[in-house]
Amino acid sequence: MAAKNDHFIFYIAFATMICCYFLPNRSWVEAQRGGFSLELIHRDSPKSPFFNQLETTSERTINALRRSVVRLNRFAPTYISKTGAQSDIRSNQGVYLMNISIGTPPFEILAIADTGSDLIWTQCHPCAHYKSFSNGDLAIDTITLGSSTGGPTITLPKTIIGCGHNNEGSFSEKGSGIIGLGGGAVSLISQMSSLISGKFSYCLVPFSSESGISQINFGTNAVVSGSGVVSTPLIKKPPEVFYFLTLEAISVDDDKLEFTGSSLGTSEGNIIIDSGTTLTLFPQGFYSKLDASVARKIDAKRIDAPIESLRLCYEANRTDELRVPNITMHFRNADVKLSPLNTFLLVSEGISCFNFSSFQGLAIYGTLAQMNFLVGYDIENQAVSFKPTQCS
C-alpha cells in the first residue's frame, strides 16, 4: 500500500477489520493480572546507542532542545488536519526510546516511544532514500514486548505495523522507527486497549539521573492512585492521535494568568500533552505575559539565551542558586504544582533557563514539566492523572 506526502495512507475500515483478529494468548492472561512495565531509555543516557561520551552535559542538553524544536514543525497549524486517516513518518529525533521485537522469530528494534504518533513503524529492506516523500507498506505481524519487571514476555499477534522502504530523514541502524502511543486507531495503545483496559502511565526521570532509564507501565501496573493524585479530563477531538487537555490558567506565586490564545481552541482541549517535546510551549501573546510574570519574581542577572528556542535565562551555576517562583498548572479539575526541576534547566555552564517558550499559536505540555511525576492515561474513562513521584 503506497503512501505520499510523508504519510502512510490507509482505510479505517481495513484497520478496523484487522483489529478484530487481535487475540490474547497465555502471556496476556498473566500480564492482565498484574500488568507489565517496560523501560524508556532517554536518547542521551549511557544505555542509549546514541550516547556520545565525548559530549559534555551542556552539549547534550542543548542538542536535546534543538531536536525538540525540529520536531515541532509537525504540530504547526497547517499540519494538523481535521480530516483524513494518516500516520506520520518522522526522523529519529525523539526523546525516549523503547525496545520491541517484530516478527517470528522476534527481530529487536529500538524505536521512539511517542504519544504524538499513532503507527508502529520501522524501516524495512530494501531501503532507498529520496526527497519529499516516504513510501511504505501497511502490514500485519507479531509484536513482542519484554517486561522489565520480571513478568512474562508479551506477544501481540496480528498487529498492524508500517514498513517503510523509501524514507527521507535521519534514521540510522542504531534506532529506526516509531512506537505510536497516541490515540489513533492503529497505535500500540489502541490495538491492545481492551487487554490493558485502556490504561498506560510513565514516570520520567530528570536529566540529572545517572541511569537515564524511565518506566512505562500498562494495564493494572499503570493505575495512578494514592495521596497527591490529581486528574483532568482527556478531551476527544480531531486529530485523534493527540492527547488534548484543558488548561485554564497558570499561577506564578500569587499571580494567576488566565490561559488564552491557543489555536487548538479557546476552551476545551486547548493544550497537547506530549512525550516527544522537551519544552512546554505557548502562543506568543500568552507566553509574553508568563515570561514577564516569572521575570518579576527572580532577582538575578538576566543574560542572552544560548539557543533561539529559549527566552528567559539567568546567570547561575546551579538551578538552586535561583530563587524561582512557584508555578502551578491549573488544568481543569487538577492543579499540578511544579518544582524548580520542572521549570528551570541548567543548559550550559553558568546559564539556567526557563523551560517554557513560545511556538506558532500552539500549546504543548512537554517532558521537562512532566519529570518526577507519575503521569497516567486512562483512555476508557477519558482522564489523565498526575502524581508527584521520585521517578529515579
Q: Per residue in 142-175, is it b (16+ CB within 10 Å) or e — as a string?
A: bbbbbbbeebbebbbbebbbbbbbebebebeeeb
Tell me the DSSP string of 80-102: --SSS-EEE---S--SEEEEEEE
Reading the block at residue 174, the C-alpha cell is 542504531
Residue with cell 497549524: 77
Torsion of CA 77, 244, 201, 187, to 10 degrees: -60
Burial class, 87, CB count within 10 angstroms (exposed 0-12 / middle 13-18 / buried 19+)? buried
Can you read off the three cell numbers belonging to residue 47? 544505555
| Sheet containing 327-331: order of strands | 255-258, 247-252, 327-331, 334-338
Report the distance separating Cα 125 and Cα 104, nearest Å: 17
- Catalytic residue (choose from 88, 118, 274, 291): 274
CB 27 within 8 A of CB 154: yes
Is residue 51 within 8 Å of 57, Cβ to Cβ?
Answer: no
Say which of 44, 88, 114, 291 is annotated catalytic. 114
Say how many C-beta atoms besides its own lie within 10 A of residue 354's C-beta.
25
Cell numbers of 221, please?
501496573
Q: Is there a catalytic annotation at residue 255?
A: no
Which residue in 384, 367, 380, 334 sits closest to 228, CA to CA?
Answer: 334
User: Pairing mode, if any, of strands 356-358 and 247-252?
Assistant: unpaired
What nine digits make up the cell of 272? Answer: 497537547
Torsion of CA 321, 322, 323, 327, to 10 degrees: -130
Q: Which class for 105: exposed (0-12), middle (13-18), buried (19 or more C-beta within 10 A)?
A: exposed
114 is catalytic: yes
Residues recognised as catalytic: 114, 274
